[in-house]
Amino acid sequence: ADPDGGFPSPEDPRGQAAYPGFRGYARAQTLTGEFGVFTLKPGRVPDGEGGWQAPHVDVSVFARGLLDRVVTRIYFADEADANAADPVLQALPEDRRQTLLATPTGDGYRFDVHLQGEQETVFFAV
């Protein structure tokens, strides 16, 4: 979503957003194991039940050795109030939620994807 919570798609039931320069998707290669995406921080979007989801970015990870993509979300640690009301985050065990939080840095946010281990990122069946 763009900073206003809109999508640049005619399928958005609230109407197609037209935020200048925003495409609504990005792709990054991770040849070194790191990735970077330069985008706008998204706004809140409806949850389909009359409430609101916290600002987040949907992410698909494709990697050599994975038979299928894995799907996760990036939420923002500095959106505590919105995160506390987000139905997806609240449906997760409390000790797993932090695997979806990007932390602020000097020039944006940092989010690490862990495919396995103690800090394994929460992935969703879609």
Task: Identify the CATH number of the domain in which residue 98 sits.
Answer: 2.60.130.10
Q: Identify the residue with better confidence: 37 or 106.
A: 106
Position of tokens 């040849």?
31
Tens digit of pLDDT for each residue in 32-66? 878 888 888 999 999 989 999 999 999 999 888 88
Give the confidence band of 79 by pLDDT, cuts at 50, 70, 90.
Answer: very high
pLDDT, mean over the chain:
91
Give the confidence band of 74 by pLDDT, cuts at 50, 70, 90.
Answer: very high
The pLDDT assigned to 99 comes to 98
pLDDT higher than 90, residue 112: yes
Characterize 36-61 residue by residue with b for buried, 16 or more Cβ atoms within 10 angstroms of its Cβ, and e for exposed. Answer: eeeeeebbbbeeeeeebbbbbbebee
15 belongs to a structural domain: no
Position of tokens 């194991």?
33
Domain range for 35 is 27-125
Tell me the CB-side half-sphere exposure of residue 36, using CA atoms within 13 A.
5
The domain total for the chain is 1
Q: Is the pTM above the cut of 0.85?
A: yes
113 belongs to a structural domain: yes
4 belongs to a structural domain: no
